[in-house]
Amino acid sequence: MTVQIIISLLFPFLSLFSSLLPNKKTTQIDIHLRLLFILMFVTELLGFLIPLYSEKQNYFIYNMYTLGFFMICYSVFYQLSKSTRWKKIILWLSFGLILFFFYDNFYKMLFFDKLQFRTFVAGAVILIILCIQYLVKFLHTDEVYDFYYSRSFWFSCGLLLFTVPFIPIIIGFQYMVDVKNLEILQFLSKVLIISSHICFIISFRWTRLL
Q: What confidence score (pLDDT) does residue 176 get?
A: 63
Q: What confidence score (pLDDT) does residue 126 get?
A: 96
Q: What confidence score (pLDDT) does residue 181 get?
A: 62
Q: What confidence score (pLDDT) does residue 141 get?
A: 77
pLDDT tens for the chain, 210 residues: list them.
677 778 888 888 988 888 887 666 677 888 888 999 999 999 989 988 887 787 778 888 988 999 999 999 999 999 988 889 999 999 999 999 999 999 988 887 777 777 788 899 999 999 999 999 999 888 887 776 666 677 888 889 999 999 999 888 888 777 765 545 667 777 888 888 899 999 888 888 765 655
Cα(166)–Cα(169) distance, integer angstroms = 5
* Positive or negative torsion for Cα 139, 141, 144, 150: negative
Statement: the pTM of the whole predicted model exceeds 0.85: yes
Q: What's the one-letter identity of residue 132?
A: I
Q: What confidence score (pLDDT) does residue 177 get?
A: 54
Q: What confidence score (pLDDT) does residue 72 get?
A: 95
Q: For residues 204 and 19, is the Cβ–Cβ distance under 8 A?
A: yes
Quote the Cα angle for 88-89-90, to 5°: 90
Which residue, 100, 91, 206, 90, is CA-closest to 147? 206
Q: For residues 121 and 102, is the Cβ–Cβ distance under 8 A?
A: no
Q: What confidence score (pLDDT) does residue 207 get?
A: 59
